[in-house]
Amino acid sequence: MHEFSVAEAIVEKTLEIADREKAESVEKITIQKGDLAHINNEQLIFCINAIKEKIEMLDKVEVEIKTVNVTINCSCGYSGEVEPKDHITDIIMALNCPECGKPDPEIKEGREITIENIEIKK
Ligand SMILES: [Zn+2]
């Protein structure tokens, strides 16, 4: 399951930061998820909860997932947000530049999953 490996990576990174900061526990993890990242929020939280059970430092952690809009750079000069129009399949979406209509513009943001913030208790 894709969500599980993403959850593992998030937990690993969180622990790395918590360790570096000499944290006693982690209170909250805020995750930014691009609109194009093919991740189910509930499943991701479910996986994080499953992994953190064995980790004392994450005992009381709260997980928040924020969705980030897709932004593109188009050859016509448009740079900004775009709404994915259709889900062709689960993972492929039709994207057109809202200015000139060109399909398949260069995607700046929207694919990635990043840890935006981690709140720790020392
Ligand atoms: Zn364009």
- What was the pLDDT predicted at 27? 97
**Mean pLDDT of the 23-48 span:** 93
97 among the known binding-site residues?
yes
76 among the known binding-site residues?
yes
Distance between Cα 76 and ligand 1 center (Å): 4
Angle at 9 (CA atoms; ends 8, 14), nearest 5 degrees? 100
Q: What is the percent of the chain where pLDDT is above 70?
A: 90
47 among the known binding-site residues?
no
Q: What is the pLDDT of residues 49-69, one digit of tens each?
A: 999 999 999 999 999 999 988
Distance between Cα 85 and ligand 1 center (Å): 15
Distance between Cα 91 and ligand 1 center (Å): 23
Predicted confidence (pLDDT) at residue 2 exceeds the cutoff of 60: yes
Distance between Cα 45 and ligand 1 center (Å): 36
- What was the pLDDT predicted at 87? 52
CB 67 within 8 A of CB 30: no
The alpha carbon dihedral of 3, 5, 9, 14 has a sign of: positive
- What was the pLDDT predicted at 84? 66
**Mean pLDDT of the 8-23 span:** 96
Domain boundaries, the chain: 2-121
Distance between Cα 93 and ligand 1 center (Å): 17
**Domain 2-121 of CATH type 3.30.2320.80:** yes
Q: How confident is the model at residue 89 (pLDDT cuts 50, 70, 90)?
A: low
